[in-house]
Amino acid sequence: MSKKNETIQRPIPLQPGESASVVSPIYPSVVYASETPDMLDDQYEGRIQGYTYAREGHPNATALAKQIDLLEQADGGIITGSGMAAITAAIMGSLSSGDHLVGGDQLYGRSLRLMKSDLPRFGIEVSLTDMTNIAKVRDAIKPNTKLILIELVSNPTLRVADISGIATLCQEKDIKLLVDNTFTTPMAFKPMSAGADIVVNSVTKLLAGHSDVTLGYVVAKHETINKSIYDFAVTTGLTPSPYECWLAERGLMTFALRFESSQATAKILAQYLTMNKNVDRVLYPTLPDHPDAAFVKQSLSVNGCNLVSFELKNKTREAANRFVKQLEGIAFAPTLGDVGTTLSHPASSSHRGLSENERLALGITEGFFRVSVGLEDPDTLKRKFEAALKSIT
Ligand SMILES: Cc1ncc(COP(=O)(O)O)c(C=O)c1O
């Protein structure tokens, strides 16, 4: 046959040989070919395993989900295109119009916005309350309450929820408990063992760890809820790209080491900041004066977290600007969980949508900062903070 008449053939069967790749391959294919309509029936009806269309699932999402399932001690987790996609799928996949949701009043800003501005438009009622106070949580419950959403450690004041009280209340009232485990991560806290029915993580943060992918993870203990969350995510296109799943799987390989190191350094930094004369107060879960020390002991006794919040003595915007400028080599960026330490200023970022009085009620002044500790040497980090803090005397 003349070369001219040859055409492309798709796909060319690959012959990788007898040896196996040690790294997950990337599967960018959007579609998967089946041999016959009978085989498709078998796939859709669960008699055989196989992929059909990437929005519904692909091997890189499965590989990543299985890795996180192991960490969360769960089965059948779903990868989504972001942490917010996971939270949205968890809520919309398990609630209907007319249901009521109780959420923590110090959740991640976009979760709060979803609950305040979006869910009510779809007929889902929302109440927000203080998750460190079980009496307040009980008061917020209504006959139509179906779900409670918490983050064990709140943002940015690092208050710790009464997880055992909330889990008991959920059982008593037949309410499902949804835990956003992003701050704590499955290294510090296992929500399923603590009574959660649904767990979400922003994989973007510590799990992937390098600020180069945006992904989420959601899993429900009950198969029917898990299926409903999966169907919502697939129908609304909340599902992820193979490339990002592949990159996140690679990041996840070092997650345990990164977390161990950064939370140990966070403890050191927190202790150091308590001794600096230009710092008014320091918030870190395992510091002895933490307002929720009893809950910390119950749920976070071994590990703390990699976040430290603190307030400058000088609470002016001018001092905040000066401090950030002087903090050399630390990215001033509203994120967390990167390999490098990052600094955020809630008054001008995550909490800028609140009025000054609302911020002050949470203790967020212009002098309030949150640090996400990375992998730097602790002494170097302390020196950098010391130099920047000196500049505001
Ligand atoms: C606690 C928490 N949950 C969820 C999210 C949302 O994650 P993503 O940015 O991956 O959508 C964030 C983002 O900062 C977060 O801090």
For the chain, domains (ranges, CATH) are 57-252 (3.40.640.10), 255-390 (3.90.1150.10)
Query: Ligand 1, atom 7: nearest CA belongs to which residue?
Result: 83
Give the mean pLDDT of 283-307. 89
Distance CA 138, CA 130 (A): 10
Q: Which region, left, alpha or beta, applies to residue 46 given φ > 0 means left and ψ of -120 to 50 means alpha?
A: left
- Look at residue 3 in the predicted model and tell me its pLDDT: 60
Which spans in the chain are helix H?
Answer: 37-44, 59-72, 83-94, 109-113, 134-140, 163-173, 185-188, 223-235, 242-252, 255-274, 293-299, 317-326, 356-361, 378-390
Ligand 1 atom closest to 151 (CA):
1
Helix (H, G, I), strand (E, B) or coil at 255: helix
Give the mean pLDDT of 317-344. 96
Amino acid occupying residue 129? T
User: What count of other Cβ atoms lies within 10 Å of the Cβ of residue 49?
Assistant: 8
- Which residues sit with their C-beta closer than 6 Å to ligand 1? 82-84, 108, 151, 155, 180, 182-183, 202, 204, 214, 216
| Burial (CB count within 10 angstroms: exposed 0-12, middle 13-18, buried 19+), residue 315 | middle
* Residue matched to tokens 């009280």: 165
Query: Ligand 1, atom 16: nearest CA belongs to which residue?
Result: 108
Hey, which of 114, 202, 247 would you mutate to test ligand 1's pocket, going by the most ligand atoms within 8 Å of its Cβ?
A: 202
Ligand 1 atom closest to 85 (CA):
11
Q: How much of the chain exceeds pLDDT 90, in percent?
A: 88
- Look at residue 341 in the predicted model and tell me its pLDDT: 98
Compute the distance from residue 18 Cα to the ligand 1 centre, in Å.
42
Whether the predicted pLDDT of 4 surpasses 70: no
Compute the distance from residue 108 Cα to the ligand 1 centre, in Å.
7
Compute the distance from residue 185 Cα to the ligand 1 centre, in Å.
12
Q: How confident is the model at residue 349 (pLDDT cuts 50, 70, 90)?
A: very high
Whether the predicted pLDDT of 1 surpasses 80: no
Least trusted range by pLDDT, from 1-10, 35-44, 317-326: 1-10
Give the mean pLDDT of 367-392. 96
Hey, which of 110, 160, 215 would you mutate to test ligand 1's pocket, going by the most ligand atoms within 8 Å of its Cβ?
A: 110
In sequence order, the 6+-apart residues with CB closer than 8 A to the CB of 330 are 340, 341, 342, 343, 384
**Chain segment 82-113, per-residue pLDDT in tens:** 999 999 999 999 999 999 999 999 999 899 99
Least trusted range by pLDDT, from 153-157, 220-224, 278-282: 153-157
Compute the distance from residue 44 Cα to the ligand 1 centre, in Å.
33
Asked if 136 and 105 touch (Cβ cutoff 8 Å), the reply is no
Hey, which of 79, 82, 84 would you mutate to test ligand 1's pocket, going by the most ligand atoms within 8 Å of its Cβ?
A: 84
Whether the predicted pLDDT of 126 surpasses 70: yes
- Look at residue 175 in the predicted model and tell me its pLDDT: 98
- Look at residue 301 in the predicted model and tell me its pLDDT: 65
Whether the predicted pLDDT of 259 surpasses 60: yes
Q: How much of the chain exceeds pLDDT 70, in percent?
A: 98
Task: Look up the pTM and report it.
Answer: 0.95
- Look at residue 354 in the predicted model and tell me its pLDDT: 83
Give the mean pLDDT of 307-333. 96
Q: Find residue 368's DSSP bridge partners.
A: 311
H or E element that contains 178: strand 176-180
Ligand 1 atom closest to 86 (CA):
11
Query: Ligand 1, atom 9: nearest CA belongs to which residue?
Result: 83
DSSP 7-19: ---SSPPP---SS
Compute the distance from residue 283 Cα to the ligand 1 centre, in Å.
20
Compute the distance from residue 271 Cα to the ligand 1 centre, in Å.
27
Closest CA to 362 of 297, 276, 272, 291: 291
Give the mean pLDDT of 139-167. 97
Compute the distance from residue 37 Cα to the ligand 1 centre, in Å.
41
Helix (H, G, I), strand (E, B) or coil at 289: coil
**Chain segment 202-215, per-residue pLDDT in tens:** 999 999 999 999 99
